[in-house]
Amino acid sequence: MNTPPRKSSAYVEAIVREAVARVLRSVRRPLREAGYEGPRSILALSDIQHDFLAGYLYGALQRLLELGELNEEEDIGKATHRLYCGLFGFDDNEYAPWHLWVVREGLHHFQRPHVFLGYCTGRNDVLAQLRFGGACNALADALRHLDSDGNEPLFGVG
């Protein structure tokens, strides 16, 4: 089968910009409740919460990019990187490389279950928000209820 031609760089850039803006609007309030004060904030989250957050953001972006007819890993990776820079500041922020590692290793190899759980939640949350306009997302509750030892069930999954 023939693969569809790659979209123009201007189109890719527009879709990535819109996807990042949408996800930023979605997560700013829940992150603020978790202690986020702007770029270069250090969030006091457990590793499990950070895993969930990384998966959530990646899943939300991937879904938005797919809806915009983009599904290449390179484009999704570019949007993820831009989102982390927008949320946490410059590339040298201590969490940016760690988040990207969590996404790549935890999601693609399924070695970190909370990343995958966040990924699924982010994908579904974005669809719910698109369908119902401004629906409250699951990120804030999930971050509150995921504890550091992993004993707290989330959405019936223990």
Return the pLDDT at 100: 66
Residue numbers of the domain that contains 105: 9-145
Judge whether 2 lies within some domain. no
Q: Are 23 and 64 in contact (CB under 8 A)?
A: yes
Point out the least confidently predicted range of 13-27, 55-69, 87-101: 87-101
The C-alpha torsion from 43 through 87 and 53 to 155, rounded to 10°, is 100
Positive/negative CA dihedral, 91, 95, 68, 19: negative
pLDDT over 90, % of the chain: 0
Q: Are 26 and 125 in contact (CB under 8 A)?
A: yes
Judge whether 112 lies within some domain. yes
The pair of three-digit structure tokens given for residue 127, joined into one six-digit string: 């669809």
Return the pLDDT at 153: 43
Give the mean model confidence (pLDDT) for residues 118-141: 79
Judge whether 154 lies within some domain. no
Judge whether 4 lies within some domain. no
Return the pLDDT at 53: 85
Residue 50 has pLDDT above 50, yes or no: yes
Return the pLDDT at 158: 32
Return the pLDDT at 98: 62
Judge whether 51 lies within some domain. yes
Residue 51 has pLDDT above 70, yes or no: yes
Q: Tell me what the pLDDT averaged over the chain comes to.
A: 75
Judge whether 120 lies within some domain. yes
Q: pTM value?
A: 0.76
pLDDT digits (tens, 9 = 90+) for 81-91: 778 777 776 65
Q: Comparing 78 with 57, which gets the higher pLDDT?
A: 57
Q: Comparing 72 with 147, which gets the higher pLDDT?
A: 72
Domain count, the chain: 1
> What type of residue is 111?
Q
Judge whether 79 lies within some domain. yes
CA 92 – CA 154 distance, rounded (Å)? 32
Three-state DSSP at 84 gives helix
Judge whether 1 lies within some domain. no
